[in-house]
Structure 1
Amino acid sequence: MTEAEQNAIREIQHVTGLAGGAYAVIEGGSTRTECFGYADMETCRPVTERSFFDIASNSKAFTTMLGAIASGEGRFDWDAPVREQYPEFSMLDEYAAAHMTGRDLACHRSGLARHEFMRARVYTSIADMARRTRYMELSRGFRESYEYNNHMFIVLGHVMERVYGRPWRELVLERIARPLGIEMRFRGRDCDFSGLDCALPHRPDGKGGAYRCAYADNVVAGPCGGIRTNLLGMIAWLRCLLDSGAPLCAAQAFQALLVPNVPTESEGGHELLCSYAMGWRTSAYRGKRLVYHGGAIAGFQSHVALFPEENKGIVVLLNTSSTTGAAILRDLLLDELCGAAPEPVAPRLSAWRRSMAENSALLEKVHAGTMPDSEACTWLCGTFFHPAYDDFTVAERDGAVWLDYGNFHAPVRVTEDEEIIACEEDPVPDYMKLRRMEGGLFVETSDLAMWLPFRRVE
């Protein structure tokens, strides 16, 4: 571990409470690995190269790799309408549904709003989640612009299931993990992790420490963010990427995944020409073509990045979410690969502190609020349904008014500015805001600046 890496990790841990992590740097035929911190802070069990991490959105590239394999076999065309493989595919915008292609799904230009909140709370199947697309509101026009969208990768995963007639999990194991020798598990209540060296999920407490949190465990998120593996597995994956997809697919099919499709905003001071390809971001970094992607889910962060023309790449795995640690380490390692002096860590950690302070301000605002009065309870209390989101319940109990939606449970408060909000007690809280509508409630969630209609069913 270089001195710059040691100093950065020490500073990140001090400020954010980062529990632990592992990373690898590949340069040509050489590989350097580093592990630090704890897989479990409560027992001080260390992170190892075999510790399993959620890689979150870095799972997307495995789903598009299935598309590359299918394309090379003549089973799938990225530019053919999705309905050729999945005839029932439907959206609120019929034109978008009829013209949607695999490329549109994979590069975030479908026009669909993000709809993140429900995915962690509706436990069904990949096929059922794809079916629910027909009820989900759009936030912009079809192919109008980029908007990151996990849900459409679930749809793409289901398209792969239709192509091969096999579950997405089986396809990833058979066509990717086993040929590369990757130890792999998946997010889901049905997965057995007993006997495995697992890095456990942690979240920052906002005071320089971290605490154990629950795994994200919804199987429907597999194609967009449901893979768990270890550093050794990610090294095998990175070497496959640096070898243009060999031995999984032909180089031409793999390179098609890296072609920019839609421009995106810059995510760093050195990045130019930022675009989204298919399961990958692309940009110029210190004059070199960079292909990369990040991942974040409850308790985990990850980054994969490569300079394809130079046969160099890095992977970063952390078991603490809601920190800026993975991005800081990514850029530090890339700078070292470029022979450049690393950027100072302090400004980015200061920005992280400010974001945590904003979260604290929201919690203080909610705490200062009051319980809804009896008149408000007449229209707030009940069970409310949306065909994509299923239902949630608002009810009086234990001297308060509570909102229950899947694994989300929070008291309903009325703030000083008359917002009605149910907010988690967490340094990085999820929340649901409520407004009255005829026959039900409008709901705005912490991930979506859009009021969704839920009709009263009880």
Structure 2
Amino acid sequence: MLQHETLASWMTDIDDKRKAWQVPGCAMAAIQGTDVIFCEGFGHLQKEAVKRVSPQTLFPIASATKPFTALGLAMLAEDGLLDFDTPIQAYWPEFRLYDAVATNRTTVRDLLCHRTGLPRHDLIWYHTPFSRAELMERLRYLEPVKDFRAAYHYQNLMFTAAGCVIEQVSGRTWEQFTKDRILKPLGMESTYFTLADAKKAGALAWPYMSQEKQVVEVPYLNNEAIGPAGSMISTIEDMTKWLLYQLNPQAITHAHLLSERRHDELRTPQLFSGSQPAWYPEIPITNAALGWFVQIYRGERVIYHAGNLQGFSSLVSILPERQCAIVVLSQVDNSRLPAVLTYEAVDRLLGIEQIDWHARMTEEAEKEERAKLVKSSRAECKQGSVLRSSCIGTYRHPGYGEVSISAADDNYYMSFHDLRFLLSPIEANRFLASYEETYQLEIPITFHTDHTGTAVSLSAKMEPTIGAKEIIFTRV
């Protein structure tokens, strides 16, 4: 255990880093063996507010939800109700993907390690009006960019499908199953699945995003439709219970949720994920496991999962051989603060020379900002190309749903879900649809006309992954 003076210095350092990254509030915990070294809140729930973040403050944990879904499936496998390598259609006959091979052969293992070949297609669920069941129905209309099992592609929709397998096999909703079989046995009584329940239950941190080097408040995002992929909301205090279980899964107090063999299987690398920047020599390799990622950091195995959601960032990390774990819950989407605090915490806990991750990632963030300015597609926009009134109307794709083109105040707009994009001309029949209220989204679109010049369809680059085809919306 660290000395009191050392711990006090560490707490000061965490708060200094929080301020440097312009994060209004965060919470962090570190564990060694069965001891919680610290579990603290830093900053405030809201900018310039009085109420401080505490160990009981609620934060959306975003994709750090995924290991809970993976654990639930492993528990059903332990019960003999499913097998990770049996095609999903054996449990869920209605499951369909774009091609017959993937439809017939996709297994739980494929879903949990992101190897179906389907790119993210996150816009289909962002601000979606669709239910979880409707999203799953629409999977069959989304084209892959790689052959089945040929490559890693991080996927929220496929993890949502993994949660639906739990529902098909257990006869309970994913939420109820996770609460009954995981949260209750671990004593995680302050963890929720919906914003409504979290707001009623206690102090919920406010969402913030970085825009033009400023941190601004944004609306909460309801992502319950993809719940198994990222809807859980928890406290740093509850997350220490999750980490204590991860470090000591066979302890009597954990009621043997899972056998050691299956627990280890979830942490076994399945394929190279290529998710770590190559300029970090301390992290030579990162792999996707089952609901987790596995990397080598300075010679040590680290099991981890990050989470990013509109307004929030999180990072859960476990070093099983060293019996230590760290969790950071934070405001500000896509913030590097959780990674900075985590890697520097690992260095402290291992008693090795400190790397200045704060300086490294600050430089990385600055390079990223400069690259955005250089690559901005806005430079392509031209004057003189005018959108014809014949393009105004509604267009539909069986997976993505509807987009509408309208005119107002001498401008043209594209509406998708409840997002409104401004249309700027690029060249004849080509426009850039831009949205800036939260994320900065830029989608090139092209109108396709018949012999009379009337638009009959539009194609839009809804999925930015290299190799992903444009989505064709047909006029209705």
TM-score, normalised to structure 2, is 0.89
Q: Residue 305 in 1 paired to residue 305 in 2?
A: no
From 170, 193, 203, give the equivalent of 2:199.
193
From 245, 251, 265, give the equivalent of 1:256.
265
Q: Residue 409 in 1 paired to residue 420 in 2?
A: yes
Q: CA deviation at 1:195?
A: 5.1
The 3 A distance-change label for structure 1 pair 140 and 69 is: same
Q: CA deviation at 1:53?
A: 0.5
Q: CA deviation at 1:228?
A: 0.4
Q: Residue 453 in 1 paired to residue 465 in 2?
A: no
From 375, 395, 398, give the equivalent of 2:409.
398
The 3 A distance-change label for structure 1 pair 55 and 276 is: same
Equivalent positions of 1:137-152 (< 5 A) are 137-152=143-158
**Aligned counterparts of 2:338 and 2:383: Cα–Cα separation in 1:** 39
CA deviation string 1:45-79 (max 9, x = no partner):
21110111111111000100101110111111111
Q: Residue 444 in 1 paired to residue 457 in 2?
A: no
The 3 A distance-change label for structure 1 pair 272 and 424 is: same
The 3 A distance-change label for structure 1 pair 21 and 339 is: same
CA deviation string 1:285-306 (max 9, x = no partner):
2222211111111011111111
Q: CA deviation at 1:369?
A: 5.3
CA contact (8 A) 1:414 1:420 kept: yes
Which residue of the partner structure matches residue 191 of structure 2?
Answer: 184
Q: Residue 231 in 1 paired to residue 236 in 2?
A: yes
RMSD, matched Cα = 2.4
The 3 A distance-change label for structure 1 pair 383 and 42 is: farther
Q: CA deviation at 1:339?
A: 1.3
Equivalent positions of 1:189-338 (< 5 A) are 191=197, 193-194=199-200, 196-207=202-213, 209-244=214-249, 246-247=254-255, 248-265=257-274, 267=276, 268-338=280-350
CA deviation string 1:395-414 (max 9, x = no partner):
10122111111232121112
From 363, 388, 393, give the equivalent of 1:350.
363
Q: Residue 26 in 1 paired to residue 34 in 2?
A: no
The 3 A distance-change label for structure 1 pair 68 and 159 is: same
Aligned letter for 2:315?
Answer: H
The 3 A distance-change label for structure 1 pair 4 and 240 is: closer
**Aligned counterparts of 2:113 and 2:387: Cα–Cα separation in 1:** 48
CA contact (8 A) 2:209 2:215 kept: yes
Which residue of the partner structure matches residue 341 of structure 1?
Answer: 353
SS state of the match for residue 252, structure 1?
helix
Which deviates more from structure 2 when the two are superposed, residues 40-49 or residues 446-455?
446-455
CA contact (8 A) 2:461 2:471 kept: no
From 377, 381, 396, give the equivalent of 1:385.
396
CA deviation string 1:353-374 (max 9, x = no partner):
2323444566793797558514
**Aligned counterparts of 1:30 and 1:424: Cα–Cα separation in 2:** 47
Aligned letter for 1:186?
Answer: F
CA deviation string 1:264-304 (max 9, x = no partner):
22524312342111110112222222111111110111111
**Aligned counterparts of 1:398 and 1:362: Cα–Cα separation in 2:** 29
From 102, 105, 108, give the equivalent of 2:111.
105
**Aligned counterparts of 2:26 and 2:244: Cα–Cα separation in 1:** 20
Equivalent positions of 1:67-86 (< 5 A) are 67-86=73-92
CA contact (8 A) 2:56 2:203 kept: yes
Aligned letter for 1:293?
Answer: H
**Aligned counterparts of 1:290 and 1:325: Cα–Cα separation in 2:** 18
The 3 A distance-change label for structure 1 pair 195 and 272 is: same
Aligned letter for 2:180?
Answer: E
**Aligned counterparts of 1:114 and 1:134: Cα–Cα separation in 2:** 14
The 3 A distance-change label for structure 1 pair 13 and 372 is: farther
Aligned letter for 1:255?
Answer: D
**Aligned counterparts of 1:172 and 1:108: Cα–Cα separation in 2:** 21
CA contact (8 A) 1:366 1:423 kept: no
CA contact (8 A) 1:372 1:401 kept: no
Aligned letter for 1:346?
Answer: A
SS state of the match for residue 351, structure 1?
helix
How many residues of Structure 1 are paired with residues of Structure 2 in the alignment? Answer: 453
CA contact (8 A) 1:206 1:427 kept: no
CA contact (8 A) 2:120 2:155 kept: yes
Q: What's the % identity of the aligned pairs?
A: 26
**Aligned counterparts of 1:18 and 1:56: Cα–Cα separation in 2:** 17
CA contact (8 A) 2:39 2:237 kept: no
Q: CA deviation at 1:42?
A: 4.3
Runs of at least 5 residues in structure 2 that lack an aligned partner in the other structure: 1-6, 450-455
**Aligned counterparts of 2:398 and 2:384: Cα–Cα separation in 1:** 29
Q: Residue 421 in 1 paired to residue 438 in 2?
A: no
The 3 A distance-change label for structure 1 pair 313 and 111 is: same
Which residue of the partner structure matches residue 134 of structure 1?
Answer: 140
The 3 A distance-change label for structure 1 pair 326 and 419 is: farther
Q: CA deviation at 1:325?
A: 1.1
Q: CA deviation at 1:236?
A: 0.5
